[in-house]
Structure 1
Amino acid sequence: MKKQQGFTLIELLIVVAIIGILATIALPQYSKYQARAKVTAGIAEASSLKVNFEDVINAGSADPTLTNVNAGTGATQNCTLGVTGKVSDGSGTITCKLLNAPAPVLGQTITLTRSAAAGWTCGFSGAKDYTTTSCPGV
């Protein structure tokens, strides 16, 4: 009698079905992970301008703008940056509009707001599922 070698068709179909079920569960989770990573990168890029913003405010010679906080052209790999502020009351904002991001967060805005009394606060225009706890979403 010959010994059977290999897999039967039924066994192969079961393996393919299991892989399909796992992929159905994993792909949406991976997309969410990608979106969260892009938002986190945008928060990091916007936060990196806070020190320069504070230097301009403390110098008191000119209102903070994109140019004088050394943000370059304002476009990075992750976002388009914007900076506004007033030396007179110590307020201002740093914004990051997300670029090259997954659909759920594409075009959403991260806003770092400074007030003389409260310091820096962070906000995100997208869903809170895609941001960090330190920068709540809507």
Structure 2
Amino acid sequence: MKNMQINHAQKGFTLIELMIVVAIIGILAAIAIPQYQDYVARSQVTRVLGEISAGKTAVEESLSRGQFPTSSDEIGLTSSNLMNGSVPAVSFDSGEAGAGYIVATFGQDASAIISTKKIEISRDDQGNWTCVTDLEEATGYIPASCENGSPN
């Protein structure tokens, strides 16, 4: 009778192979997660600026009728329709020919990096609009149309 040899082939992965895969996944996650958080914060800043900028049209319309908006409701901006629970504030002074501002403070639903920060668009008595924000320059989240400064 012939000797029967049974071939026991290795099945599965070795511990070293599994450790290498886990290390690669960890490295990829360490790179991807901060990039994703950065992307989310930038998109939130851009969206809120766009949303409060839409209020400029409503302000100009009110001013053309001789009315000076004193609340965000009057120009259609409420915290319920702004993203991230941003809290809008509006102030226009009738004594300065329509000078005033619209400011949004990022709420607690915003990215942790930008929560409690503000973006403000203000109108001077000549009708010129400017943007200012207290976002740190180092973060790179300041929109191109805004300056670093102290909003109201």
Partner of 1:133: 144
Q: Which of 1 and 2 has greater Rg?
A: 2
Ranked by relative contact order (alpha carbons within 8 Å, sequence separation 6 or more), the top structure is 1
Deviates more, 1:34-43 or 1:115-124: 115-124
Normalised by the size of structure 2, how large is the TM-score?
0.78
Structure 1 residues 131 and 21: CA distance shift in structure 2, 3 A: same
Distance in 1, Cα, partners of 2:30 & 2:131: 34
Normalised by the size of structure 1, how large is the TM-score?
0.85
Partner of 1:14: 20
Q: CA deviation at 1:118?
A: 6.4
1:80-131 per-position Cα deviation (integer Å, ceiling 9, x unaligned): 1111113442311001011111211101111001114361111111123223
Runs of 4+ that moved beyond 6 A:
none
For structure 1, the 5+ residue unaligned runs are: none
2:98/2:127 contact within 8 Å kept: no
Q: Of residues 92, 102, 110 in structure 2, which corresponds to 1:94? A: 102
Are positions 1:115 and 2:124 aligned together? yes
Partner amino acid, structure 1, of 2:69: P
Are positions 1:63 and 2:100 aligned together? no
For structure 2, the 5+ residue unaligned runs are: 1-6
Deviates more, 1:115-124 or 1:92-101: 115-124
Deviates more, 1:8-17 or 1:88-97: 88-97
Partner amino acid, structure 2, of 1:63: F
State the aligned residue count: 135
SS in 2 for 1:81: strand
